[in-house]
Amino acid sequence: MSASRIGLLLVNLGTPQGADYWSVRRYLREFLSDRRVVDLPPVLWRPILESFVLTFRPRRSARAYRSVWNEERDEGPLKTITRAQAEKLGARFAERNVIVDFAMRYAGPSIGEKIDALRANGCERILMFPLYPQYAASTTASVVDEAARALALLREQPTLRIVPPFYDDPAYIEALAASTRAQLAALDFEPEILVASFHGLPQAQIDRGDPYRRHCEATLDALRSALGMSPERLRLAFQSRFGRTQWTGPYTANVLQELAQSGVKRVAVLTPGFVSDCLETLEEIGVELRHSYLAEGGENFARLDCLNDSEDGLRALETIARRELSGWL
Ligand SMILES: C=CC1=C(C)c2cc3[nH]c(cc4nc(cc5[nH]c(cc1n2)c(C)c5CCC(=O)O)C(CCC(=O)O)=C4C)c(C)c3C=C
Ligand SMILES: [Fe+2]
Ligand SMILES: [Fe+2]
């Protein structure tokens, strides 16, 4: 249609620049100062964040990051995987006028700098692709807010489109089902129960109308149908609770504990709320929860990978992106 270029910008959460105390602290300060994430009045939250959270949390998180850090590239796995997804997605566009890149909401590379770079490369249109299948104000809306802040600085703005949540998109569900089937077939044991563990959200945000939980349930319903599994066999759970308030449940740690205590010996955990493996999947599930489940009497524990830069995953991302590019290519 137009001779100008099109930018396709994958956006993920972001990860600290280093796995040391100060890098993690800087990252957590930026992340947890986002009012989309912690929506308490700043007069209440600031003092707690500065005095309590940023004193103790970075030490614990830095230790967790070190256990999964990509030493070769000196970066978090989320960044390595998101970059690989952008590179492989770029290779799938034979159209020479499409440029694929990635940005991170926190700790960089920032959405603003990537929008500037795409414009400098001649992109008058940008399709932004938040890599969150389920919408949450704390993730999806925060990405959109940040893009709007970047555009607010420009006289000549690019035209912006945003990929909608894809929690029940057949392309996403088919990829998840294929990837789950293949990974289960490769295990040396057969899990009695599978747990689908999504990142949690404070219950108060859901009560105020965030559709996140509904989206997670829809993903899981569709995945159960695709795999022919019952709600008993493929369970819903939420991980990564943060702080002392009530988060939406059941908590993954409790579900696994109850399974172990009721004599279930073999489980697999999948994470269909993440498109790219990260601290929460690799460390919290792959290290912490594996350890507790085995300590509580479980015998076999498998963590299934996210779609990452797999063929199944890239096909889904391409299908979803191409649909949103219609009329632009
Ligand atoms: C997948 C969707 C995510 C939602 C929804 C989400 C909400 C949310 N998260 C926190 C607090 C933390 N999350 C942290 C890490 C983290 N969170 C997501 C995704 C979602 N978060 C990802 C992909 C990651 C991993 C980042 C990485 O570097 O690999 C962390 C930092 C790590 C730690 O200290 O545990 C915090 C803190 C809140 C409060 C929230 C909703 C209100
Ligand atoms: Fe999070
Ligand atoms: Fe966590």
Cα separation, 313 vs 129, whole angstroms:
14
Which atom of ligand 1 is found nearest the CA of 24? 34
Task: For residue 1, name the pLDDT band (cuts at 50, 70, 90).
Answer: very low
Instruction: Tell me if 296 sits within 8 A of 260, measured CB to CB.
Output: yes
Look at the domain 5-164+311-324 and name its fold: Rossmann fold (3.40.50)
Each residue's pLDDT tens digit, 198-240? 999 999 999 999 999 999 999 999 999 999 999 999 999 999 9
Residues 6+ apart with CB under 8 A from 246: 202, 203, 204
Ligand 2 centroid – CA 240 distance (Å): 7
For the chain, the domains span 5-164+311-324, 170-303
Which atom of ligand 1 is found nearest the CA of 77? 29
Q: Which amino acid is at 259?
A: L
CATH says 170-303 is which class? alpha beta
List residues bridging with 269 in a β-sheet.
195, 303
Same topology between domain 5-164+311-324 and domain 170-303: yes
Mean pLDDT of the chain: 97
Task: Count CB neighbours of 203 within 10 A.
Answer: 16
From 279, 283, 306, mutation site for ligand 1 pocket: most ligand atoms within 8 A of C-beta: 279
Q: Whose CA is nearest to atom 24 of ligand 1?
A: 280
C-alpha dihedral sign at 175, 176, 182, 183: positive
Task: For residue 316, name the pLDDT band (cuts at 50, 70, 90).
Answer: very high
Ion ligand 3 neighbours, Cβ < 5 Å: 240, 280, 284
Each residue's pLDDT tens digit, 165-203? 999 999 999 999 999 999 999 999 999 999 999 999 999
Each residue's pLDDT tens digit, 267-301? 999 999 999 999 999 999 999 999 999 999 999 99
Nearest to 137 by CA among 78, 79, 220, 202: 202
Each residue's pLDDT tens digit, 109-140? 999 999 999 999 999 999 999 999 999 999 99
Nearest to 272 by CA among 192, 165, 145: 165
Task: For residue 96, name the pLDDT band (cuts at 50, 70, 90).
Answer: confident
| Percent of the chain as helix, strand, coil, to the nearest 5 | 50, 15, 35
Cα separation, 130 vs 133, whole angstroms:
8
